[in-house]
Amino acid sequence: MDTDVDQHLRDVQREYMDFLDDAETEGTYTDKVREMVTNNDFRLIVNINELRKKNETRANALLSAGCEELVCFQKALKEFVATADTAYAKQHEEFFVGFEGSFGAKHVTPRSLTSSYLGNLVCVEGIVTKCSLVRTKVVRSVHYCPATKKTIERRYTDLTSLDAFPSSAVYPTKDEDNNPLETEFGLSAYKDHQTFTIQEMPEKAPAGQLPRSVDIVADDDLVDACKPGDRVQVIGLYRCLPSKKGGFTSGTFRTIMIANNVKLMSKEVAPSFSADDVAKIKKFSKSKKDVFEILAKSMAPTIHGHEYIKKAVLCMLLGGCEKVLTNGTRLRGDINVLLIGDPSTAKSQMLRYVLHTAPRAIPTTGRGSSGVGLTAAVTTDQETGERRLEAGAMVLADRGVVCIDEFDKMTDMDRTAIHEVMEQGRVTIAKAGIHAKLNARCSVLAAANPVYGRYDQYKTPMDNIGMQDSLLSRFDLLFIVLDKMDPEHDRMISDHVLRIHRYRSPGEQDGDVLPMGSDVDVLTTADLDAAEEEEKEMSIYEKHDNTLHGQKKDKKEKIVSMQFMRKYIHVAKALRPALTREASDCIADEYSKLRSQENLASDVARTQPVTARSLETMIRLASAHAKARMSKTITREDAEAAIEMVQFAIFHKVLEKAKKKRQREADSEDEEEEDEEQPAKRRKERPPRNPDDPYDYYDDEDETVPDIGHRREKSKEPKEKESDESMDVTSASGAAAKDGVSADRLQMFQKSLLGIFKKEHADSLPLKRVTEAVNGDHPDDPFSESEIRSAVDKMMDNNQVMLSDETIFLI
């Protein structure tokens, strides 16, 4: 019987040998083995689809009875390597085989991994929740006996090995004659060993149930192939470990998976570049358009507005230039951004976009994370009982971004834990006998609500934010996002949101079932559709979609595709632009102005204190702006762009062009009514008002007269009575008229004006209409334009009428 089994195993081994030896046909695995020898590896990845094509019997047997088949496959691989390179085959104890491809019904999640799969080769996908430390296991020990001058060799296997019978775990110290043995440690062989747990993905778990998990055993080169938080596919043997206590068993066994291949499903940290990609990136960086503006507009195109916040997020992804000085001082290059403001202003959506765009991004929330959860915690190892460090979110996001939502909900004690990380870029631990420094060089993007839930316009920004200055100064940019009520703006937002809700993905069918609670998306280890898309030529701009991007107002206005942006940012991030003298002077001048503004103009509302860190902020932002242009130097243009962002963030204002400034000055002059010198100038600078839309007049109603920038309540007396009284007061006063109109002419004008207002039943009339009506009353002696202007000015001085936008209002 044993002979038949041995013969069967030899036949199986020969079949696998024939599969690997394909030099005469495609030569795929011959080349792969050569490459494996060149790279000094000892694991060959075999696509099970190719094995199924050549030998379907072996492929089916491998899936259903994986243990003995895998042992035969590995022996065949060692034999094949020996024929290719004999010296290399002797260097390694064993060679391993890993699998990929389509597993069909054997492609499962931890929830659907049931007892029917025991002993089978399966593919399980999920999220890694915890990893143990990497430990060494002895595979072969060599012992020397000085008395007999003999060498003894012993091999060790356990239940996690492929061999059917585990060996005794007793380590020999004496031979049969009780002679002591010495262990030759140099000749013994060891292997790395690690266990990690994968949990089913939250989006695949059925509603209202906790996600399930499975333990994975990884040996040799598969240790440290993944870290907590990674989405992985693990291919391996599903096996149970029997447990005996006092000679009998309870009947319930612990099940594990012995991995032979681990594939990461997470997005790559370093994207692959073709020569065509590099050419496109160079061409885009040298285009005549403002590259920074185009990239900023393309950030989160589904979010309406927030131009400055998008620019800040782009700068954060690009980063500044980190410097480590000779004395060990580190000047950070990471840019931290805080968004604070009203609910429903797309703060969390901005964080969600960064999570999908940044190469490494870790999401957390204020209430869901403690101080040690963000930095590092000392835990007890379950297997050995030793104390060890467990990295928190900010350590895992080293050289990436941490997105903290609901930042204001964190307690003060937890918030102080991130002070050191945000400035020094490291976590120092000194507890439970462990002293360690961990790198956490990450950018922080936080979103928070104000103290009162909504932003209170009547309180200063500092009162609304309600955080310590020591924390706020560590944020480079702090944006206050307000939900302003403006009909035109609200109309634009509603159009935008409705457009997004009308969007249908290209492959979506009517009545499609939502993929909620389904086991897996694709029944193969590689998504063929995604692979095809990667092979396609990368386009710089996205194809215009009316529902996503709106109607095209300008043909030149294009949105950069996310794939291109990811690659562009990856290249631009590596640059280290140098600061020029003119940029340095510009930044230094602005910093001194910001500080003096802080001392002199105490009424200016500031969102955060202006400290020396603000100076470093401007340098970092200017560096990021230069990186976006792929420039090797930071010019004055970069410095001005950085200053504009800082001004907007600190003082909550936009740097204005000269034209707008004049307009604003004119408006301020209009508010100061004592200034009598420039009425004509004010009239010229104001935009003309529509004369066909006067305010309606109601006889006996109390009402308010609206005006541009002014709202004045009328007295509660009827209008005609008030007008009569004011006219009488004027005529009784008999004051001398201004230059250009006599007292008699002024009285005539006042009577005519009062008559016109009564006749029209209005409290505001265009100046042109008043001129025609007054001259119609006095055809023999008409009023000139200068007389009418002088009369109106005199009445304005007496608070009887008001002139605005060529319209006379009755007070």
Identify how many contiguous H helices and E strands the chain contains and give both numbers. 29, 29
Torsion, Cα 45 49 53 54, to 10 degrees, reads 20
Which one, of 443, 463, 447, lies nearest residue 366 by Cα? 447
User: Do residues 775 and 800 touch, judged by C-beta distance below 8 A?
Assistant: no
Identify the pLDDT of residue 495: 86
Which is higher by pLDDT, 582 or 206?
582
Which one, of 271, 352, 357, lies nearest residue 314 by Cα? 357
The residue type at 250: S
Identify the pLDDT of residue 680: 42
Q: Looking at the predicted structure, is the pLDDT value of residue 718 above 60?
A: no
User: Helix/strand/coil (H, E, C) string of 198-252?
Assistant: EECCCCCCCCCCCCCEEEEEEEHHHCCCCCCCCEEEEEEEEEEECCCECCECCCC
Identify the pLDDT of residue 550: 61
Q: Looking at the predicted structure, is the pLDDT value of residue 659 above 60?
A: no
> What residues form DSSP beta bridges with 401?
361, 443
Identify the pLDDT of residue 623: 92
Q: Looking at the predicted structure, is the pLDDT value of residue 327 above 60?
A: yes
Identify the pLDDT of residue 585: 92
In terms of C-beta density within 10 A (0-12 exposed, 13-18 middle, 19 or more buried), how is residue 552 classed?
A: exposed
Question: What's the chain's length in residues?
Answer: 811
User: What phi and psi values does residue 223 have, to the nearest 5 degrees?
Assistant: -70, 145
User: What phi and psi values does residue 771 have, to the nearest 5 degrees?
Assistant: -60, -45
Q: Looking at the predicted structure, is the pLDDT value of residue 776 above 50?
A: yes
DSSP 560: B
- Please name the residue that has the structure tokens 């930042």: 407
Q: At what angle do helices 307-318 and 612-628 cross, to 10 degrees?
A: 80
CA distance linking residue 525 with residue 263, whole number of Å: 8
- Please name the residue that has the structure tokens 């990690």: 196
What percent of the chain clears pLDDT 70, i.e. is strictly above it?
A: 78
Which is higher by pLDDT, 363 or 272?
363
Q: Looking at the predicted structure, is the pLDDT value of residue 772 above 70?
A: yes
Rounded average pLDDT over 261-276: 73
CA distance linking residue 616 with residue 587, whole number of Å: 10
Identify the pLDDT of residue 581: 92
Rounded average pLDDT over 764-792: 86
Judging by DSSP bridges, how do beta strands 801-804 and 361-365 pair with one another? unpaired
Q: pLDDT tier at 235 (50, 70, 90 boundaries)?
A: very high
What would you measure as the largest C-alpha separation in the chain, in angstroms? 147
Which is higher by pLDDT, 5 or 192?
192
Identify the pLDDT of residue 584: 92
> What residues form DSSP beta bridges with 197?
130, 215
Rounded average pLDDT over 310-328: 88
DSSP 358: S
Which one, of 89, 107, 103, lies nearest residue 44 by Cα? 89
Query: How many Cβ atoms sit within 10 Å of the Cβ of residue 448?
Result: 22
User: Do residues 662 and 608 touch, judged by C-beta distance below 8 A?
Assistant: no
User: Do residues 345 and 649 touch, judged by C-beta distance below 8 A?
Assistant: no
- Please name the residue that has the structure tokens 């969102």: 607
User: Do residues 695 and 805 touch, judged by C-beta distance below 8 A?
Assistant: no
Q: Which helix or strand (DSSP H or E) is residue 281 part of?
A: helix 275-285
CA distance linking residue 536 with residue 538, whole number of Å: 6
CA distance linking residue 212 with residue 208, whole number of Å: 13
Which is higher by pLDDT, 619 or 686?
619
Rounded average pLDDT over 527-543: 59
Query: How many Cβ atoms sit within 10 Å of the Cβ of residue 279?
Result: 10
User: Do residues 388 and 444 touch, judged by C-beta distance below 8 A?
Assistant: no
Alpha-helical segments (H) within 578-688? 581-600, 612-628, 636-651, 658-671, 679-685
- Please name the residue that has the structure tokens 């030759």: 184
pTM: 0.66
Under DSSP, is residue 801 helix (H, G, I), strand (E, B) or coil? strand
Q: At what angle do helices 275-285 and 562-573 cross, to 10 degrees?
A: 80
CA distance linking residue 730 with residue 303, whole number of Å: 59
Q: pLDDT tier at 683 (50, 70, 90 boundaries)?
A: very low
20-59 residue pLDDT tens: 887 777 778 888 888 888 888 888 888 888 888 888 888 8
Q: Looking at the predicted structure, is the pLDDT value of residue 609 above 50?
A: yes
Q: pLDDT tier at 696 (50, 70, 90 boundaries)?
A: very low
User: Do residues 660 and 618 touch, judged by C-beta distance below 8 A?
Assistant: no
Identify the pLDDT of residue 726: 43
CA angle 49, 563, 442 (to 5 degrees): 105
In terms of C-beta density within 10 A (0-12 exposed, 13-18 middle, 19 or more buried), how is residue 26 classed?
A: exposed
Identify the pLDDT of residue 619: 92
Which one, of 277, 292, 279, 280, lies nearest residue 626 by Cα? 292
- Please give the structure tokens belonging to residue 296: 């900023």
Q: What is the DSSP string of 688-712?
A: PP-TT-PPP--TT---EEEETTEEE
CA distance linking residue 395 with residue 409, whole number of Å: 22
Q: Which helix or strand (DSSP H or E) is residue 804 part of?
A: strand 801-804
Rounded average pLDDT over 277-297: 82
User: Do residues 583 and 638 touch, judged by C-beta distance below 8 A?
Assistant: yes
Identify the pLDDT of residue 725: 45
Identify the pLDDT of residue 181: 87
Alpha-helical segments (H) within 715-761? 719-733, 743-760
The residue type at 235: I
> What residues form DSSP beta bridges with 259?
236
- Please give the structure tokens belonging to residue 198: 């994968």
Q: Looking at the predicted structure, is the pLDDT value of residue 712 above 50?
A: no
Alpha-helical segments (H) within 85-176? 86-91
Query: How many Cβ atoms sit within 10 Å of the Cβ of residue 263?
Result: 18
Identify the pLDDT of residue 216: 92
678: Cα within 13 Å, side-chain hemisphere: 14
CA distance linking residue 462 with residue 455, whole number of Å: 11
Residue 92 CB contacts under 8 Å (≥ 6 apart), including other chains: 42
What percent of the chain clears pLDDT 90, i.e. is strictly above it?
A: 5
191-223 residue pLDDT tens: 888 988 888 887 777 778 888 889 999 988 888
CA distance linking residue 57 with residue 54, whole number of Å: 9
CA distance linking residue 551 with residue 557, whole number of Å: 11
User: Do residues 266 and 133 touch, judged by C-beta distance below 8 A?
Assistant: no
Rounded average pLDDT over 255-280: 78
Q: pLDDT tier at 701 (50, 70, 90 boundaries)?
A: very low
As a whole number, the mean pLDDT across the chain is 77
- Please give the structure tokens belonging to residue 275: 């020569």
Under DSSP, is residue 439 helix (H, G, I), strand (E, B) or coil? strand
Alpha-helical segments (H) within 506-561? 528-535, 546-549
